[in-house]
């Protein structure tokens, strides 16, 4: 598929393209459903949120093929109907409201623009809030609201659906990252919100379609958004609850007469938890966690016929979930705690199995207390600290004396050293052996850092003006130039790459990916035998951090 170039034409997206967006979103979500299941702790840790959202999406997409017409309005209506009929679980029902908003917003339209989409998304977020008697922040609702708000704001800059969606997806991502800040149960469990993550994946999938990346997606999979606050890895014991959950009861009610959502909601409000009543006067989807599902169903059948009935014992589901999280629990009995600047880098560290991350680095050194807290918060009683910065090593060295846990500090001075150390972690070895192997591994990597000078100075033969780009190799200043890319290039050219195999370049928060990609292409051409990898590090201050190993 070719990249779409529709920037100029405002209202040019068809119903088929709308369907394409969500078909792609569904296959993207499918890859991530098990990950999302594993995040599921709120409102009930039953571990089926991803699956529920996937089933809801599938139902929406399937129904879209039965649309009466191929125009945007008809497709959106069909998707909304499919989503409502197929909705499962809290997040599924909320998702169905977003489709309902889409259907409302696109009603009567043959095709739609970025503005139409943004407005419909906002409508959907609003409907989602309305569906719940007691909306909780830090969930899919928050993500829906903040994403749609970003979509609206992006409309001021552009009419183009692609750029609006880019802003939407980015906001959804940030919103997901923030969910543990808003909802304590997530923080305790050490996860971001599952439903929010699901919605983010759906929006990201739709964006992939718009960008014409359907082919590339086959080889990739959605990533779980890392939290914006430090979290320790999940411990199953924390979320084990004593009190029973009852039955998750769900069905679609087709009324004999006009149905009043308000009346149904009122009637069921004190009959259980997590009540959701959505739909219209003919068709209503009801979801509730109740100890007496029979009473709910009795009441519903007095109003009409019920369909797609699902009653599940949540205590059984919860047991399965506990098993599932146990299977995924970190196998190591030694924890690793790393100080990392920037969310991208934190994500890299987490993906490599670090137990906890502490934000910090150049000009933002964490205190002894913060390091100690992180060490105390992990479940393991043997801990390795990776300071990843020269100035943080002395602080880290205080920690072993302040805790009853056994703590080793591997004195990594840079991020690449920290990554190398973490990669050499041996799951079978003991604390001391691991610490010494990590120390050794961290010494085999060369670190390149490129930043801007904060003041004019002269170091050795190099004269530096304020704000000039400067490059370091393992902390030694080796290059000065006007732009960071030139300096990085210059530094890399000066390195002895004999025996090296992999160059990893982490570009910073204030560096454009396109610039970083250009330099990566140049490096690849210069060193055809080396593997060159580009990672979004998101670190402040440093335009580039690179490792050569």
Partner 1 sequence: MVKIVTDSASDIPAEVAEELGIAIVPLYVRFGSEVYRDRVDLSTEEFYRKLITSRTFPTTAAPGPGDFAEVYDKLAEETEEILSIHVSSKFTVIYEAALRGKEQMKRKCRVEVIDSLSGVMGLGLIVIAAAKEAQKGVNLDQVADVVREAIPKAHVYMCFDTLEYLRRGGRIGRGRALLGSALRVNPILDIKDGEAHPVGRPRSRAKAIEKLYEFARSFTNIRDLAIEHATTPDEAEALAQRLSSIFPRERIYISTVDPVVGAHVGPHVIGVALLER
Return residues touching partner 1 (CB under 8 A): 223, 327-328, 330-332, 347-348, 351-353, 419, 423-424, 426-428, 501-502, 504, 531, 533, 535, 549
Distance CA 475, CA 99 (A): 53
- DSSP lists the bridge partners of residue 544 as 450, 507
Q: Among residues 324 and 477, whose Cβ is nearest to partner 1?
A: 324
Residue 173 structure tokens:
């991502």
Distance CA 336, CA 341 (A): 16
The least CB distance from residue 331 to partner 1, in Å, is: 5
Q: Among residues 326 and 390, whose Cβ is nearest to partner 1?
A: 326
Write out the DSSP string of 66-134: T-SSSSHHHHHHHHHHHHHHH--HHHHHHHHHHHHHHHHHTTT-SSB-HHHHHHHHHHHHHHHHHHBSS
Q: Among residues 219 and 262, whose Cβ is nearest to partner 1?
A: 219
Distances (CA, A) of 214 to 28, 203, 482, 517: 9, 14, 39, 21
Q: Among residues 30 and 123, whose Cβ is nearest to partner 1?
A: 30
The least CB distance from residue 233 to partner 1, in Å, is: 11
Distance CA 89, CA 267 (A): 20
Q: Is the dihedral of CA 45, 55, 264, 311 positive or negative?
A: negative
- DSSP lists the bridge partners of residue 250 as 287, 310
The least CB distance from residue 459 to partner 1, in Å, is: 32
Q: Among residues 47 and 330, whose Cβ is nearest to partner 1?
A: 330
19: CB partners within 8 A, 6+ apart: 61, 64, 65, 75, 79
Q: Among residues 122 and 434, whose Cβ is nearest to partner 1?
A: 434
Residue 44 structure tokens:
């009930």
The least CB distance from residue 427 to partner 1, in Å, is: 5
Hey, what's the torsion of the CAs at 186, 189, 192, 198, to 10 degrees? -100
Q: Among residues 260 and 328, whose Cβ is nearest to partner 1?
A: 328
Reported as type and span, the H/E element at residue 406 is strand 406-409
CB-CB neighbours of 26 under 10 Å: 22
Q: Among residues 243 and 496, whose Cβ is nearest to partner 1?
A: 496
Q: Among residues 395 and 536, whose Cβ is nearest to partner 1?
A: 536
The least CB distance from residue 196 to partner 1, in Å, is: 19
The least CB distance from residue 344 to partner 1, in Å, is: 8
Q: Among residues 149 and 425, whose Cβ is nearest to partner 1?
A: 425
In this structure, the strands spanning 356-359 and 334-340 are parallel
Q: Among residues 221 and 512, whose Cβ is nearest to partner 1?
A: 221
Distance CA 536, CA 479 (A): 23
The least CB distance from residue 226 to partner 1, in Å, is: 10
237 near 225, Cβ under 8 Å? no
Query: Which residue has 């909304």 as its token pair?
Result: 80
The least CB distance from residue 531 to partner 1, in Å, is: 6
Write out the DSSP string of 15-41: HHHHHHHHHHHHHHHHHHHHHHHHH--
Residue of 412, 436, 268 whose CA lies nearest to 340: 412
The least CB distance from residue 417 to partner 1, in Å, is: 14
Distance CA 341, CA 537 (A): 9
The least CB distance from residue 548 to partner 1, in Å, is: 11
Gyration radius of the chain's alpha carbons: 26
Q: What share of the chain is helix, strand, coil (3-state, %, to 5)?
A: 50, 20, 30
Q: Among residues 12 and 424, whose Cβ is nearest to partner 1?
A: 424
The least CB distance from residue 88 to partner 1, in Å, is: 23
The least CB distance from residue 320 to partner 1, in Å, is: 15
Residue of 268, 274, 259, 275 whose CA lies nearest to 295: 268
């Amino acid at each position: 598929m070719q990249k779409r170039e529709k920037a100029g034409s405002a209202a040019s997206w068809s119903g088929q393209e709308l369907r394409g967006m969500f078909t792609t979103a569904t296959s993207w979500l499918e890859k991530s459903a098990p990950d999302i299941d594993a995040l599921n702790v709120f409102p009930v840790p039953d571990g089926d949120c991803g699956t529920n959202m996937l089933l809801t999406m599938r139902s929406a997409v399937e129904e879209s093929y039965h649309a009466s017409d191929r125009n945007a309005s008809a497709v959106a209506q069909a998707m909304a109907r499919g989503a409502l009929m197929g909705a499962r679980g809290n997040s599924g029902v909320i998702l169905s409201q977003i489709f309902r908003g889409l259907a409302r917003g696109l009603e009567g339209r043959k095709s739609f623009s970025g503005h139409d989409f943004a407005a419909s998304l906002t409508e959907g977020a609003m409907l989602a809030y309305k569906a719940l008697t007691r909306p909780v922040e830090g969930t899919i609702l928050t993500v829906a609201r903040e994403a749609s708000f970003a979509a609206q704001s992006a409309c001021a800059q552009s009419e183009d659906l692609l750029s609006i969606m880019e802003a939407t997806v980015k906001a959804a991502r940030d919103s997901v990252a923030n969910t543990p800040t808003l909802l304590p149960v997530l923080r305790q469990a050490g996860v971001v919100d599952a439903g929010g993550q699901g919605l983010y994946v759906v929006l990201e999938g739709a964006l992939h379609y718009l960008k014409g990346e359907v082919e590339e997606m086959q080889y990739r999979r959605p990533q779980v958004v890392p939290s914006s606050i430090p979290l320790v890895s999940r411990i199953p014991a924390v979320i084990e609850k004593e009190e029973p959950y009852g039955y998750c009861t769900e069905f679609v009610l087709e009324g004999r007469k006009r149905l009043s959502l308000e009346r149904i909601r009122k009637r069921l409000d004190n009959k259980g938890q997590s009540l959701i009543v959505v739909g219209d006067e003919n068709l209503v989807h009801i979801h509730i966690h109740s100890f007496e599902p029979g009473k709910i169903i009795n009441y519903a059948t007095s109003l009409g016929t019920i369909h797609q009935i699902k009653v599940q014992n949540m205590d059984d589901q919860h047991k399965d979930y506990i098993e599932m999280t146990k299977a995924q629990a970190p196998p190591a009995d030694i924890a690793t705690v790393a100080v990392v600047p920037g969310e991208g880098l934190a994500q890299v560290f987490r993906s490599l199995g670090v137990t906890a991350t502490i934000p910090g680095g150049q000009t933002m050194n964490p205190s002894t207390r913060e390091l100690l807290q992180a060490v105390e918060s992990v479940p393991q009683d043997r801990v390795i600290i990776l300071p990843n910065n020269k100035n943080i090593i002395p602080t880290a060295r205080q920690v072993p004396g302040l805790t009853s846990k056994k703590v080793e500090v591997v004195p990594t001075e840079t991020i690449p050293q920290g990554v190398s150390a973490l990669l050499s972690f041996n799951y079978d070895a003991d604390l001391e052996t691991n610490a010494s192997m990590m120390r050794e591994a961290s010494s085999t990597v060369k670190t390149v850092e490129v930043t801007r000078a904060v003041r004019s100075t002269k170091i050795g033969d190099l004269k530096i003006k304020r704000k000039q780009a400067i490059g370091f190799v393992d902390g030694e200043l080796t290059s000065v130039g006007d732009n960071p890319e030139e300096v990085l290039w210059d530094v890399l050219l000066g390195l002895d790459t004999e025996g090296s195999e992999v160059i990893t370049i982490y570009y910073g928060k204030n560096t454009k990916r396109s610039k970083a990609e250009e330099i990566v292409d140049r490096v690849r051409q210069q060193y055809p035998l080396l593997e060159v990898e580009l990672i979004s590090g998101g670190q402040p201050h440093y335009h580039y951090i690179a490792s050569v190993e």
